[in-house]
A and B are shown apart, each in its own frame.
Chain A
């Protein structure tokens, strides 16, 4: 383990909704103040702030994190923005970790916020700017294209069916029914509902996709000597890793997320994990689309290539299975305010390992969990491993 030991000691969040009355600043404030309150800390005990938020284009506010900063407790404090697209939520926690592990700070407040509803007529408008301006934008692409292209490459390579993949959406939306912050939890959804939903960009259908959302999540991180004073249940950061693949996405093997494997291998090495399938008890892989959960389980080396769907089919990935996957309900169920969604996954592992996940609590006193996010132009993997 590099550097000093670092723990997460508190977490808070807002409900995720399609459109919130609250501004981004107000959402950040609600999540940040709840996180501080949860560990009975106040802002004057925080040394530095890490703020994560995805494209400025969603809000139409340039330097969005500076705009958010008053609500995120950043007044008069060393503050940094983390931004690796969808990978931001987990990356922000990694930044919080190295701020403290390095010895630079003892306590860090990590806040991730996203308000996608401001962008009209649809947040997709902001996503059009991720494509190459000369070689791709003249073709009139939309964001769904790249996911549909990747999903088809993955399905075809391994002979997977839409039904194999739809099981992920069903599991996660059902799990989310037990999450008090969820936007799209549904205890009764069936595979047929997913398979019969509107085709958007085949093979992607409406219920294969997470919603657009407004929301914020915050965690408090602390060095060991503080963490032990603040709580009797610190959740330790045991490993972190991140990696970026080439921007030339049409030159990659789209059927396998190599960058997730690279990030996972770094995190496993740091945590001293040799057999991740035995040593990781709960997983929160990034699931903006149902196939992405499977893709990422394979990149995390928690399933053989092309075989992750079997974990879902056999119930191994259920909340009461041998390796619960996305017990929170994930982006598909809780919602997808981009950066906040990634940090929600970190917060879920925190609550699960402390036995505080309520109706979502995974049985058997899990001791170690992994959260992963993914983003930019389908090219970044961010991984954090937490343990008690």
Chain B
């Protein structure tokens, strides 16, 4: 099969830096303003009030977070809003030591999927964990899948109806 492989002209970073090849750079400029929609719009309003809320489908019985106005499994409208707790269980987590553009972070971030109490089992949202250490080793020592956590909210006056109204989730000491 070697006959059917084209060798390609591989560029090294210095080929570009020393301008041995011509390249063009243009930024793509575009800004978007996303409407939250019916279900998530209400969810954001509740966040501003310091509450989490889900949506129940009476056909399958699921209480869903993030909430939606339709059940994608039953393919029918969901029926009612359900207040949820601001506590939950860590389904999974990571300890991220780099930024999106591959720069090292001084203090790692701890993204997690958190199943929220009051929603159906396994219904989670993505957020971050906090108060769990400042190094990879400390964090791995502290955080476990299955760990109980609680939301740490911004003060009411600083909340704006965004997922970041929850600063992070911290371990819940039983």
Contact = CB atoms under 8 A, between A and B. Distances in A.
Nearest to A133: B34
A153 interface: yes
A142 B111 CA distance: 10
Nearest to A15: B8
A358 B1 contact: yes
A143 B93 CA distance: 14
B136 A251 contact: no
B125 A37 contact: no
**B26, B37, B92 pick with most chain A CB within 10 angstroms:** B92
Interface string A3-38: 000000001111111111110000100110011011
Given A13-B5, A156-B145, A18 B10 contact: yes
The A contact surface, by secondary structure, is mixed
B123 A200 contact: no
Nearest to A124: B100
Contacts of A35: 4
A80 interface: no
**B21, B68, B124, B127 pick with most chain A CB within 10 angstroms:** B124
A210 B5 CA distance: 21
A132 B64 CA distance: 16
Contacts of A357: 1
Interface in A121-162: 121-122, 124-125, 128, 132-136, 138-145, 148-150, 152-153, 156
Interface stretch (A184-192, A201-209, A234-242, A263-271): A201-209
Contact of B5 (A34, A121, A254): A34
B96 A34 contact: no
Contacts of B164: 138-139
B136 A199 contact: yes
A310 interface: no
13 contacts: A11-B1, A19-B10, A19-B16, A38-B4, A134-B40, A141-B100, A149-B111, A153-B91, A200-B97, A201-B96, A201-B97, A251-B122, A251-B123
Interface of A: 11-22, 27, 30-31, 34-35, 37-38, 60, 117, 120-122, 124-125, 128, 132-136, 138-145, 148-150, 152-153, 156, 180-181, 199-204, 214-215, 246, 248, 250-254, 351, 356-358
